[in-house]
Amino acid sequence: MIEERYRLAVDRIGEMRSEQTVQATFTDYFHKMAEFAMMIAKTRDQLSEGVYWNRSQEELAGENRRLYEDILPGAYERSYADPSYAVRILGDEYGQILSFLYTELRGSIAYVFEGKTEYLDILFELLIEVYNQFEEEAMPDPGRIKDSIYWYASDYCDVFVADRLREQIDPEGSFAADIIRDSQLEDLRYLYRFGEYISENELRTAKYLNELPEEMIRRMADVYTEGYRMGFVNTGKDLSKKETVEIRYVIGFERVIRTAIENFAKMGLKPVIYRSSVSALTKRQHLKTGYYGAIANKQYEYDHRNDQALFLDKKFMERKLEVIRTTYEHHKELAGRYAGPACIDMFGEEPFSPEQKEEVIRLTGKQEELQLKFQSRQSQITNQYIKGDERSFTIVAYPVPEIGEQYEEIFHEIIRINTLDAKVYEKVQQALIDVLDQGEYVHILGGNGNRTDLKVQIHELKDPKKETAFENCVADVNIPVGEVFTSPVLEGTNGVLHVSKVYLHELQYRDLEITFANGMIADYNCGNFERELENKEYIHDNILHRHATLPLGEFAIGTNTTAYVAAKKYGIEEKMPILIAEKMGPHFAVGDTCYSWSEDVKVYNPDGKEIVAKDNSVSILRREDVAKAYYQCHTDITIPYEELQKIAVVTRKGDEIPLLLDGRFVLPGTEILNEAFE
Structure confidence by residue, pLDDT tens digits, 21-40: 999 999 999 999 999 999 99
For range 513-518, the mean pLDDT: 98
Residue 350, pLDDT score = 87
User: 445 has which bridge partners?
Assistant: 453, 646
- pLDDT tops 90 at residue 579: no
Do the Cβ atoms of 521 and 637 come closer than 8 Å? no
Q: What is the mean pLDDT of the chain?
A: 95
Residue 33, pLDDT score = 98
With H, G, I as helix, E, B as strand and everything else as coil, classify residue 635.
strand
With H, G, I as helix, E, B as strand and everything else as coil, classify residue 586.
strand
Structure confidence by residue, pLDDT tens digits, 133-176: 999 999 999 999 999 999 999 999 999 999 999 999 999 978 99
- pLDDT tops 90 at residue 345: yes
Residue 439, pLDDT score = 97
For the entire predicted model, the pTM comes to 0.92
Residue 378, pLDDT score = 96
Residue 477, pLDDT score = 83
Closest Cα partner for 359 from 126, 89, 31?
Answer: 89
- pLDDT tops 80 at residue 476: no
Residue 506, pLDDT score = 80
Sorted by sequence, the CB contacts under 8 Å of residue 163 that are 6+ apart come out as: none
- pLDDT tops 90 at residue 486: yes
- 350-364 as b/e, with b when 16 or more CB fall inside 10 Å? eeebbebeebbbebe
Strand order across the beta sheet in which 552-558 lies: 471-473, 483-486, 552-558, 586-591, 634-638
For range 626-642, the mean pLDDT: 94
> 173 φ, ψ to 5°?
65, 35
What is the percentage of the chain residues whose pLDDT exceeds 70? 100
User: 591 has which bridge partners?
Assistant: 634
- pLDDT tops 80 at residue 475: no
Residue 422, pLDDT score = 87
Residue 672, pLDDT score = 95
Closest Cα partner for 570 from 351, 419, 413?
Answer: 413
Pick the range with the lowest mean pLDDT from 160-169, 386-395, 471-480: 471-480
* Alpha carbon distance 678, 676 (integer Å): 5
End-to-end CA gap in the chain: 71
Do the Cβ atoms of 277 and 290 come closer than 8 Å? yes
Q: What is the dihedral of CA 177, 181, 184, 190, to 10 degrees?
A: 0
Do the Cβ atoms of 523 and 515 come closer than 8 Å? yes
- pLDDT tops 90 at residue 285: no
For range 553-562, the mean pLDDT: 96
